[in-house]
């Protein structure tokens, strides 16, 4: 059996168990710690899937920053969850309907690796035929060299090279607005507001 596959199965089962435990536990501090474990687990899973960049992000944000942010939220609230919360039935119905619609949607997707899939016949040929990386150079021995041997290493590189600018710009917008929200939520309360709260 493929060892990576076996590890993936065990790690995913562990992640599900951790998530359920983190929800079920009443001590919110323990819940935060279990969420930290969950972040580390997800990062290991991403690494196991050879998604290095996602793994880096998950480790630093999911396991490190999210834990500290949840803790700073706990400094504003109590560390015990109120017991006896009743279950919200309409929410369960909505979640079940949404989930079944999503699962129904995946059943209509083309088979994995299907060459006739829309993703492969719509814009992919255009990306593959782009002129990126085809820079001719004269090397010292007089022969004409072309970067990357006349083509970019793979399709992802072609897309990224051409469209990286938009990607980065809106990533920056998202991160900036998230930072503004955090500053607004976690800023120290002014003395005036604190007096009003005490009264």
The verdict on 68 binding other proteins (CB under 8 A) reads yes
CB of 188 to other proteins, least distance (A): 9
Dump strand ranges (E) for the chain: 136-138, 144-146
The candidate with the shortest Cα–Cα distance to 150, out of 158, 140, 141, 162, is 158
Among 12, 19, 28, 47, binds other proteins (CB under 8 A): 47
CB of 163 to other proteins, least distance (A): 25
Among 34, 152, 158, 159, binds other proteins (CB under 8 A): 34
The verdict on 56 binding other proteins (CB under 8 A) reads yes
Residue 149 has a CB neighbour count (10 Å cut-off) of: 10
Residue with smaller CB distance to other proteins, 34 or 152:
34
Contact residues for 69 (Cβ-Cβ < 8 A; gap 6+) = 182
What string of DSSP letters covers 118-148? HHHHSSHHHHHT--TT--EEE-TTS-EEEGG
Angstrom distance (rounded) from CA 59 to CA 16: 18
The verdict on 25 binding other proteins (CB under 8 A) reads yes
The verdict on 15 binding other proteins (CB under 8 A) reads no
For residues 14 and 41, the answer to whether their CB atoms sit within 8 Å is yes
For residues 92 and 100, the answer to whether their CB atoms sit within 8 Å is no
SS3 state at 7: helix
Among 9, 30, 180, 194, binds other proteins (CB under 8 A): 30
Among 67, 152, 158, 159, binds other proteins (CB under 8 A): 67
| DSSP label of 75 | T
Residue with smaller CB distance to other proteins, 71 or 132:
71
Residues that bind other proteins (CB under 8 A): 3-4, 6-7, 10-11, 14, 17-18, 21, 25, 29-30, 32-34, 36-37, 40-41, 43-44, 47-48, 50, 52, 55-56, 59-60, 63-64, 67-68, 71-72, 74-75
């Amino acid at each position: 059996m493929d060892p990576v596959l076996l590890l993936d199965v065990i790690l995913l089962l562990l992640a599900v168990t951790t998530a359920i435990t983190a929800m079920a536990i009443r001590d919110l501090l323990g819940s935060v710690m279990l969420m930290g474990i969950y972040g580390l687990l997800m990062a290991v899973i991403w690494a196991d899937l050879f998604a290095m960049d996602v793994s880096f992000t998950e480790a630093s944000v999911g396991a490190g920053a999210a834990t500290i942010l949840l803790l700073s939220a706990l400094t504003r609230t109590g560390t015990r969850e109120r017991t006896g919360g009743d279950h919200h039935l309409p929410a369960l119905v909505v979640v079940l309907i949404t989930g079944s619609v999503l699962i129904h949607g995946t059943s209509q997707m083309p088979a994995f690796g299907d060459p006739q899939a829309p993703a492969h016949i719509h814009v992919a040929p255009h990306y593959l035929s782009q002129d990126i990386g085809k820079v001719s150079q004269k090397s010292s021995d007089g022969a004409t060299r072309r970067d990357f041997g006349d083509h970019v290493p793979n399709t992802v590189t072609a897309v990224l090279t051409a469209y990286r600018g938009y990607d980065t710009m809106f990533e920056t917008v998202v991160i900036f607005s998230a930072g503004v929200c955090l500053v607004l939520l976690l800023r120290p309360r002014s003395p005036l507001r604190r007096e009003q709260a005490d009264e």
